[in-house]
Amino acid sequence: MKKEGCGIAGIALTQGNAASPIFYALYALQHRGQESAGIAVCSGGAKGGKENEISGWKKDISLKKGMGFVYEVFSTQQLESLEGNIGIGHVRYSTMGASRVENAEPLLANYRRGKIAIAHNGNLVNALELRSELEREGRIFHSDTDTEVMAQLLAKELMRHDPIGAIKELMKCVVGSYSLVILMDNTLIGVRDPLGIKPLCLGELKDGGEGNGEGYIIASESPAIDTLGWNLIRDVRPGEVLVIKPSQGSRRSRVAENDLESHQLYRGVNSAHCVFEYVYFARSDSVLDGRLVYDVRMKMGKRLVEEQGVEADMVSPVPDSGTTFAIGYAKRSGIDYMEGFIKNRYVGRTFIMPEKASRDTAVRLKLNVVQANVEGKRIVLVDDSIVRGTTSRIIVDYLKKKGAKEVHLRIGSPPIIAPCYLGINTPTRDELLASKRTTADICEFLNADSIGYLSMEGLIDSVGIDANNLCLGCLTGKYPVEIPGEVCIARQLKLTQF
Ligand code: AMP
């Protein structure tokens, strides 16, 4: 099964087309995936649906997806052709296996009352077993994603249960991380796994004007909501299922409104929020689980000074991922903040460069040294994390070639020693620089004058979430769910009565 990181958004409007705000929301989530994008819409109950005998409204879902950036996949015409006041969207990246449009999401599945569209951020660790079982029952798969496993399971459970009952059954058998937006039966559904591993938040549009009425949005990160000019309400709670049904309003009042229901299907004794969202993955302007990521990264940078301070002439970030950390470092240390590199903003994230380009070319394409700023200087070079070490090695060399006197690497997270199985695309243990090396070995390998990582304590204090409620798997090798061959710190879950 593919390992992937993704962004999701679902929108329900009382009137108007959802495709266009979903497009903008996906644009705001582009950092979460650049490989493919997709939008599915359903005409909902608010306008234009042809009656059918089951629910009274036509439930056709239109889908458009393709490879590439959001703006490459959708033209204005295509967006206009996606008619419907309720829909979901997805941006995806993966580096394992072939990039195929079949794996792009949203994915569709048929069930007895129509179609389901589903978009997923996260990673299931028991997808292969579940898929084999479903295949034995005669179900045919079109992609190699764990999302399709969930779509098929849902379709199966919908034979016996109502939507909430079916989702409850689904959540009982899947293990891993999943934030989902689902479109079915004229309804938008948002699901966050019981440990709240991947982020998901809820926002609203009040009196939208421009023919949009009112609306709700469920999205991976809050900048998707800000971009639309809507309001963030709150995070979706771990184990919570949100159901949003645009209703017509009564014939008498003709006031259309959305019904929002919350079902707390599972409640965990602990959560396991992904710490890497705070370190790298989320945007700095995101509010995740009530915390502004910018504040967290500033604190990490400041804490680095306390733990790993060094004499230097300037603090430079590795842009963009190290910027907020470096600002924090400069503020606390009093050392000048200067840009050693200028980033070409038209290049995507390094990990997603085409395979043909060498890592070296890829890094140079993305980052250029400002020679006059670095010549003869002792530089504190701040980044969020080191994964394979390829980027750090190249840029330390690059700075030295351009005349930097000393390069002191300061990293806003502890060493990454173990792979992620829960939705962040990290390589295997063998490829992780820190999995088998001491800090001194790493410093030598990177040709840096010194290296200092943030301590685990420093990280946890900066995030401000108790370690029992974080997933620290990539930093500790201990995971919040059972993964064959790995150590599990069991998180207890219980099914709430409803
Ligand atoms: P590396 O050269 O492998 O050490 O890459 C480390 C850089 O990649 C860090 O500066 C991060 O900003 C970024 N990074 C870390 N994790 C990921 C990831 N899962 N996907 C893409 N980029 C990442």
Question: Regarding predicted confidence, which is higher, 222 or 3?
Answer: 222
Asked if the model's pLDDT at residue 2 lies above 60, the reply is no
Average pLDDT over residues 250-274: 78
- By percentage, how much of the chain surpasses pLDDT 90? 77
Residues 241 and 390 in one domain: no
CA of 321 to the centre of ligand 1 (A): 9
Neighbour tally for 277: CB within 10 Å: 26
Question: Regarding predicted confidence, which is higher, 102 or 447?
Answer: 447
Q: What are phi and psi of 165, to 5 degrees?
A: -60, -40
Ligand 1 atom 13: the closest Cα is on which residue?
Answer: 385
- Ligand 1, residues 35, 350, 390, 417: which to mutate, most atoms within 8 A of Cβ? 350
**Number of helices (H) and strands (E), helices first, in the chain?**
16, 27
- The answer as to whether 312 is a domain residue is yes
Token representation of residue 465: 């979430």
Query: Does the beta carbon of 364 lie inside 6 Å of ligand 1?
Result: no
pLDDT for res 328: 98
Ligand 1 atom 3: the closest Cα is on which residue?
Answer: 388
CA of 371 to the centre of ligand 1 (A): 24
Average pLDDT over residues 122-144: 94
Neighbour tally for 161: CB within 10 Å: 15
Domain enclosing residue 386, as ranges: 292-466
Asked if the model's pLDDT at residue 96 lies above 90, the reply is no
Using one digit for the tens of pLDDT, what is the confidence trace for 166-206?
Answer: 999 999 999 999 999 999 988 999 999 999 999 999 999 98
- By percentage, how much of the chain surpasses pLDDT 70? 88
Question: Regarding predicted confidence, which is higher, 14 or 349?
Answer: 14
Give the predicted TM-score (pTM) of the model.
0.93
Q: Respond yes or no on whether the N-terminal peptide bond of residue 106 is cis (omega within 30° of 0).
A: yes
Q: What are phi and psi of 470, to 5 degrees?
A: -120, 150
State the DSSP code for 138: T
**Nearest atom of ligand 1 to the alpha carbon of 393:** 2
pLDDT for res 98: 56
Query: Does the beta carbon of 294 lie inside 6 Å of ligand 1?
Result: no
Using one digit for the tens of pLDDT, what is the confidence trace for 284-310?
Answer: 999 999 999 999 999 999 999 999 999
Token representation of residue 329: 């470092």
Check which CATH number belongs to the domain holding 185 and give it: 3.60.20.10
**Nearest atom of ligand 1 to the alpha carbon of 388:** 3
Query: Does the beta carbon of 450 lie inside 6 Å of ligand 1?
Result: no
- The answer as to whether 316 is a domain residue is yes
Would you name the residues annotated as active-site residues? 6
- Ligand 1, residues 91, 300, 387: which to mutate, most atoms within 8 A of Cβ? 387
Query: Does the beta carbon of 383 lie inside 6 Å of ligand 1?
Result: yes
Residues 315 and 383 in one domain: yes
Output helix, strand, coil percentages for the chain, rounded to the nearest 5: 30, 30, 40
Check which CATH number belongs to the domain holding 438 and give it: 3.40.50.2020
Residues whose CB is less than 8 angstroms from the CB of residue 316 and which lie 6 or more positions away in sequence, other chains included: 326, 337, 338, 339, 340, 341, 373, 374, 379, 380, 381, 382
Average pLDDT over residues 50-73: 73
- Report how many domains make up the chain: 2
Distances (CA, A) of 461 to 279, 295, 329: 13, 12, 16
C-alpha 10/C-alpha 5 separation (Å) is 17
Token representation of residue 139: 């179900």
Residues 361 and 396 in one domain: yes
Residues 234 and 382 in one domain: no
411 CA to centre of own chain: 22
Residues 262 and 304 in one domain: no
C-alpha 5/C-alpha 2 separation (Å) is 10
Ligand 1 atom 16: the closest Cα is on which residue?
Answer: 387
- The answer as to whether 438 is a domain residue is yes
- Ligand 1, residues 385, 425, 435: which to mutate, most atoms within 8 A of Cβ? 385
Ligand 1 atom 5: the closest Cα is on which residue?
Answer: 387
Range 162-169 contact pairs with CB under 8 angstroms and sequence separation of 24 or more = 163/187, 163/189, 163/243, 164/241, 164/243, 164/263, 164/265, 167/191, 167/241, 167/265, 168/265, 168/495
